[in-house]
Structure 1
Amino acid sequence: MHPEVRKTAPGKCPGCGMDLIKIPNHKSQIPNSGHTTHDMPKMSHHDHEAAMTNPQMAKNMEADMRRRFWISFLLSIPIFLYSPVATQFFGLHLPTPLAVNWLLLILTTPIVFWTGSIFLTGTYYSLKAKKLNMAVLIATGVLAAYLFSVLITVIRPESETFYEAAALLVTFVLFGHWMEMKSRRGTSDALRALFDLVPPKANVIRGGREMSMPSAEIIHDDVVVLRPGDKIPVDGEIIEGETSIDESLVTGESIPVSKTIGAKVVGGSVNLTGIVKFAAKQVGSETVLAQIIKMVETAQNSKAPGQRIADRAAGWLVIVAIGSGVAAFLGWYFGADAGLLTALTFAVATVVIACPDALGLATPTAVAVGTGIGAKHNILIKDAATLENTSRLTAIVLDKTGTLTEGKPKVTDILGFRGFSPNEVLAVQAAIGAASNHPISKAIVDEAKSRNLETKKISNFEAIAGFGLQGMVNGKRALIGKEKLLTERGIDTRGRRKEIDLLADEGKTLSLLAVANELVGVIAVADAIKPTSKKAVNALKNFGLEVIMITGDHRKVGEAVGAELGIKRIFAEVLPEEKAKYVKKLQDEGKFVAMVGDGINDAPALAQADIGIAIGAGTDVAIETGNIVLMKSDPYDIVAAIRLSRATVAKMKQNLFWAAIYNVLAIPVAAGVFSTSLGWSLRPEIAALLMSASSIIVATNAVLLKRVEPKLSA
């Protein structure tokens, strides 16, 4: 079980003997697509960590372990019924066609060498690589019990043997592995859903005719035809038609997006209304969906810092277990003058119960479940270290535009004077602004359209560079723009000073309207704050984090937004290239800092931060720019990512604590330290049951992370 192993040719893992499997390189296609790789494929460890993220492989591994367990279990039933344990404790004396020990030998042999073969081959390759792992301990215990029993069967057929210990040891450990795989297979649900987003076939135009072909065979610049209800196979750009696309399955955004010629489409989304054609631009591992899958798989296969400590501890524990087993045998056989059978019982039980299986599972199971939950909620976490370190944050820097606000201006207030109603002010400004491409004009036009206002006819339109617009409306000259423009044109604004200053103090941009040289209205425009921003900021402060806002806007605008959201520390008038310096400043203050931005303009700051969080990437996801990528534009997902990290780390600590306490208490009991004083002792098969139970407890506790899911939504 060594996911870090990488080879360029097929073979066995040098650590434990399991088969190596192909993993896709940067040019290969995602599952269900089948594009041929162009580079030499690397071979990766066919183990729990590497395989459990592949849905089909996880299913196959679980089926194999289930089959091994049930065969072992069925063979173990007669072994137990004929064993000395059944005779001594239950008084069973069943008839047998031949000597009991020979019958037990026949029944136990396939358990040891077939259903338990994974432990024997694992031990061979582990020792070959000069490494000690759990397979070594299991194989040592099984072979010690089995070979001792074979020897007794040959030289003293009527004596008591250990066949039931060897058989039940294999059975219980297989059961533990099966339960572990069953629980961990659930972590691939999010990936399985992503795999299923790619349609098996698509309609493509080649040679002037439309044909149906596997999505795997689509290449760059192929023209793909989409009809209502079709899933989009690859990323591309619309070249003909108009439609509405549902991107919720990929980006998490619930509102369908209108698409026209030149618009981008992302593989895995669904065409809703029109018939369109698009040119394939990104195929295979280049697609957004492939990047998401790769990121989740990488995270689930990576190791958290805590896991590296656990791995080292597990390595030492193998040595301690074998040493304790030898010491137990020598102590009982030579020191306590116990019989060979008694000494071997304690030795085998000690080796078995000390298996560091639970210690090895403590953090990988939690990481797999945590990253799977994140992916399900459109929170992509790059690796296990990020998942763990996010829980250590002490400060978080939020970029204003696009993170806390919508990133585009919207009309917030409309004031009408001298008999002009707000709708009339809006209609006149929209009529003149329709000829302009300025963002503020566009916001005013959009607001007028949303109110279904009648479009007024204009003439003599003129743009006044840097100040405003003017034109004739209903035979009267209308002037819109900044207050400075109106003042320069001799239009008195002093009578509305109070209203103008109030809106300006709120950090809003004002567009004043004068008709026939009189001020008749004001429209205030601002970058609207997202609905969940305030709740997100409050939650972050409740986590004990210092929340800082950074913006390139004027200080007054930044302070207005900060006041509304409850953010006290604000860095304003900061250029994009300067944001990294402010993050460094916070780090110099001793803070562990996260930076949240759009993932493109904020790339240097995201790289400087201890944890970089790219938000609202959507179909233009820039996965390489952040440790965490939030596919939606919802600031509450920042809270969800931190909450998920803290919950995952809590499970890691619980699992590590349980695994450590289990080994500290179990080894002395199994070695017989309390046998004479308290009468506590364990047979090897009971030790195996407890060891497996410990692993199941750890895996189950990790699955309980799913309880945090309801708290991840605003």
Structure 2
Amino acid sequence: MHKEVTSNKPGVCPKCGMTLIPVEKEESKMDHSMHNMQSSSISSWWNKFKISMTMSMGMDHTGLAGREMAKMMEEDIRNKFFISLFLTIPIVALTYISVSFSKSWLLLVLTTPVYFYCGWIFLYSSYIAIKQKTLNMAVLIAVGITAAYLFSIILTFIGSSETFYEASAMLTTFVLFGHWMEMKSRRGTTDALQALFNLVPPQARVIRNGKEEMIPTSEVKIRNILLLKPGDKVPVDGEIVEGETAIDESLVTGESIPVSKSKGDLVIGGSINTSGSVKFMATKIGGDTVLAQIVKMVETAQNSKAPGQKIADRFAKYLVIVAVGGGLITFFVWFFILGQPILFALTFAISTVVIACPDALGLATPTAVAVGTGLGAKHNILIKDAPTLEQVSKIQAIVLDKTGTLTEGKPKITNIITTKNFTQDEILEFAGSVEAKSGHPLSKAILERITLDKLTLKEVSKFNSISGYGVEATVQGKDILIGTIKLMNDRGVDVKSIQKELDSFLIEGKTIMLISIDKNIAGVIAVQDLAKETSKIAVSKMKELGLEVAMITGDNKKTAEIIGKSLGIDRIFSEVLPEDKEQYVKKLQSEGKFTAMVGDGVNDAPALARSDIGIAIGAGTDVAIETANVVLMKSDPMDILRAIILSKATVRKMKENLVWASIYNLLAIPIAAGVLYPNFGITLKPEFAALLMSISSIIVAVNAVSLKNIEKKLI
């Protein structure tokens, strides 16, 4: 599938010759997406026959957007292969056995359907390619089977007993078999992504006029109120407006434990409601849902080209010219210069054209990319494109944002210290009232404690956020200041009375929030964000790979160092404001290191964009998907390591395939042209050249599929 090709009018794809299909959502453009293809349109045998006869070569048409077309093309190639094989067997048998009658006419009858029906995809594709003033693999195959077929007809009419019918038939059969195997090798990834689409239920319960009504999921509109009962799949993304439940999001995000949901919480289409009944309002439908974005990312990655593939494509284009030219030169040398019979010269010429098909070269990286991105998606590692898949293997330094990446991102209050003039409840109420306006991660810890202690929030005015340092506001006529020691010092607040407690908290690696009321220190709240269970081992494994690991945080130096050292991180950037994080990424880049940044995809967006590879962890947000090159749906630091391992393995397969395909072409072309015949008497007939070409392509496809063997390292 060449999804990137669009047109404002009907026609065919200039790259492959496939008929362009109208896109449902954009009437002004057309591409060959099969999303709107109805089963009824291909149900009759006549429609299937027409599609089959206008279908181009299937190698580049296995993208997810055309998954129905990909499936249909694989079936078509398979059917054509078996028909071709069924007819080729008697053709070969008649060719190599002696019979009492003239067999050329019978061979013509048997070969004609092989050429015109089974080989039509090559003929049609080559016609489109030439019409578009380009050359591709189909041209080479078409030249080979046509030359053998037409010369055989001429030889039949002049009464010759020697023909090339078996070469034309075997060439068609072997190439069809190679394409069928290649398409099967890539189908697994497409099927896996199709399974994601199948997570969405076909129908949804919508509340209309106070009554429950079942409608197709495709008819759900934004702001519709939907009902979920226990065991229901969530049809679209939305926000709960009534009720409480637990949602199993494991099939979408990979999180194994059901997540508690209540009013105001978001639900993701494709997840499963495990307990209570809730009502939710649809906020995203169709292609805008998280699940659709995941599939779109993987689809885009599989249809993109790695830098190495772009070079291979250019080489393959010239190889087509070399093959055609080589075939002509081979014929000229053997027939005109060396004076060999025309059939002898033609044998070498056709073999040269056939064996030089850059099929394996064209498959070298796309198959590896398809398998690699599919494996990543299976393990909740979403890689945006093929260049990213390749570049992740080059990472030399990695910057890990502390909160949410290395730690749980859910700080808990561990200590509350007050001065003589204030009580603990007063401190919590003043701090909570102000922090409720901030949305800072630490504010959640205070608000949870207020709810637990059944305290009440007060009215707040003149709220102001001091980025990276704290907040200030007026509550019941009192000036409230909450933040770091530096903020207190800058505002002239004396903290000596609680300095001992502050030092103790800092030694323990806790984050502290000081509270002053009317410029008098009132107390301090200590919170701690615990490291994730897998953080330490992930850091250790990264260092084993030779990566320089750095941690970046807004915490003070002492707290940052305690946390960093406990995880085995030596390079620590502390007291960093959100807007300054990208400067530290730039610092590592200035040291000549290919640098990755890992963060939550929200306040780390500038740093993610600045880095060579941006990795958003535990993300399903729009910001993460837009900003990062890699999105890790789970909040597991080990997934960072898995992404690197996957990238290195995929790049290794790409290189192996490119090396094999290049060596094959360099050695095969001169052998097919007959360089070994004068000294060794070796002749490579066209049918065996086709067999070798197909085997080469299959080797590349199988080698790419063997990438799945690393899956045990991703678990």
TM-score interval, normalised by the smaller of the two chains: 0.7 to 0.9
Q: 306-315 or 638-647: which moved more?
A: 638-647
The 5 Å alignment of 1:223-242 reads: 223-242=225-244
SS of 1:82 mapped into structure 2: helix
| Paired position in structure 1 for 2:31 | 43
| Alignment-mate amino acid for residue 87 of structure 2 | L
| Paired position in structure 2 for 1:681 | 683
1:583 equivalent to 2:585? Answer: yes
| Paired position in structure 2 for 1:318 | 320
Q: 278-287 or 500-509: which moved more?
A: 500-509
Superposed displacement of residue 22, structure 1: 4.4
CA distance in 2 between partners of 1:268 and 1:674 (Å) = 61
| Paired position in structure 1 for 2:597 | 595
Are the aligned partners of 2:431 and 2:446 in contact in 1 as well (CA < 8 Å)?
no
SS of 1:406 mapped into structure 2: coil
Identity within the alignment, %:
61
Partner of residue 182 from structure 1, selected from 181, 184, 189: 184
| Paired position in structure 2 for 1:220 | 222
SS of 2:536 mapped into structure 1: helix
1:149 equivalent to 2:152? Answer: yes
Using a 3 Å threshold, how does the CA distance of structure 1 residues 657 and 545 change in structure 2: closer, same or farther?
Answer: same
Q: 617-626 or 533-542: which moved more?
A: 617-626
Using a 3 Å threshold, how does the CA distance of structure 1 residues 412 and 703 change in structure 2: closer, same or farther?
Answer: farther
Give a deviation string over 1:664-703, Cα, whole Å, max 9, x none: 1111111110112123221100000000000011011111
Partner of residue 635 from structure 2, selected from 629, 633, 641: 633
Are the aligned partners of 2:204 and 2:235 in contact in 1 as well (CA < 8 Å)?
yes
| Alignment-mate amino acid for residue 6 of structure 2 | R
Normalised by the size of structure 1, how large is the TM-score?
Answer: 0.84
Give a deviation string over 1:388-423, Cα, whole Å, max 9, x none: 1111111111111111111121367999xxxxxxxx
SS of 2:651 mapped into structure 1: helix
Are the aligned partners of 2:63 and 2:299 in contact in 1 as well (CA < 8 Å)?
no
CA distance in 1 between partners of 2:589 and 2:86 (Å) = 61
Are the aligned partners of 1:549 and 1:571 in contact in 2 as well (CA < 8 Å)?
yes
| Paired position in structure 2 for 1:108 | 111
| Paired position in structure 2 for 1:52 | 63
SS of 1:529 mapped into structure 2: coil
SS of 2:31 mapped into structure 1: strand
| Alignment-mate amino acid for residue 656 of structure 1 | L
| Paired position in structure 2 for 1:394 | 396
| Paired position in structure 2 for 1:422 | none
Are the aligned partners of 1:434 and 1:441 in contact in 2 as well (CA < 8 Å)?
no
SS of 1:202 mapped into structure 2: strand
CA distance in 1 between partners of 2:118 and 2:502 (Å) = 82
The 5 Å alignment of 1:236-315 reads: 236-315=238-317
Q: 429-438 or 339-348: which moved more?
A: 429-438
Give a deviation string over 1:249-303, Cα, whole Å, max 9, x none: 1111111111111111111111111111111111111111111111111111111
Q: 523-532 or 56-65: which moved more?
A: 523-532
Are the aligned partners of 2:245 and 2:277 in contact in 1 as well (CA < 8 Å)?
yes
The 5 Å alignment of 1:477-516 reads: 501=503, 503-509=505-511
| Paired position in structure 2 for 1:126 | 129
CA distance in 2 between partners of 1:696 and 1:490 (Å) = 73
| Paired position in structure 2 for 1:9 | 9
Superposed displacement of residue 446, structure 1: 7.2
CA distance in 1 between partners of 2:281 and 2:513 (Å) = 42
CA distance in 2 between partners of 1:190 and 1:591 (Å) = 36
Partner of residue 656 from structure 1, selected from 655, 658, 663: 658
Are the aligned partners of 1:651 and 1:701 in contact in 2 as well (CA < 8 Å)?
yes
CA distance in 2 between partners of 1:178 and 1:352 (Å) = 18
Superposed displacement of residue 51, structure 1: 3.5
Partner of residue 702 from structure 2, selected from 693, 700, 703: 700
Are the aligned partners of 2:602 and 2:623 in contact in 1 as well (CA < 8 Å)?
no
* RMSD (Å), alpha carbons: 3.5
Q: 239-248 or 176-185: which moved more?
A: 239-248
SS of 1:268 mapped into structure 2: coil
Normalised by the size of structure 2, how large is the TM-score?
Answer: 0.84
Are the aligned partners of 1:430 and 1:444 in contact in 2 as well (CA < 8 Å)?
no
Partner of residue 572 from structure 2, selected from 570, 573, 576: 570
CA distance in 1 between partners of 2:371 and 2:12 (Å) = 28
Unaligned stretches of 5+ residues in structure 2: 34-55, 418-422, 436-440, 464-469, 472-482, 515-523
Are the aligned partners of 1:615 and 1:630 in contact in 2 as well (CA < 8 Å)?
yes
CA distance in 2 between partners of 1:21 and 1:39 (Å) = 11
**How many aligned residue pairs are there?**
650
Q: 614-623 or 440-449: which moved more?
A: 440-449
Superposed displacement of residue 444, structure 1: 8.8
SS of 1:343 mapped into structure 2: helix
CA distance in 1 between partners of 2:629 and 2:494 (Å) = 53
| Paired position in structure 1 for 2:438 | none
Superposed displacement of residue 530, structure 1: 1.0
SS of 1:338 mapped into structure 2: coil
The 5 Å alignment of 1:424-463 reads: 437=432
Using a 3 Å threshold, how does the CA distance of structure 1 residues 267 and 621 change in structure 2: closer, same or farther?
Answer: farther
Give a deviation string over 1:635-658, Cα, whole Å, max 9, x none: 111111111111111110000000
Superposed displacement of residue 509, structure 1: 3.9
| Paired position in structure 2 for 1:27 | none
Q: 300-309 or 567-576: which moved more?
A: 567-576
Using a 3 Å threshold, how does the CA distance of structure 1 residues 20 and 227 change in structure 2: closer, same or farther?
Answer: same
Are the aligned partners of 1:251 and 1:619 in contact in 2 as well (CA < 8 Å)?
no
| Paired position in structure 2 for 1:81 | 93
CA distance in 1 between partners of 2:300 and 2:622 (Å) = 20
Give a deviation string over 1:154-196, Cα, whole Å, max 9, x none: 0124x20000000000000000000000001111133112110
Superposed displacement of residue 543, structure 1: 1.8
Are the aligned partners of 2:84 and 2:118 in contact in 1 as well (CA < 8 Å)?
yes
| Paired position in structure 2 for 1:645 | 647
CA distance in 1 between partners of 2:484 and 2:669 (Å) = 80
Superposed displacement of residue 552, structure 1: 1.3
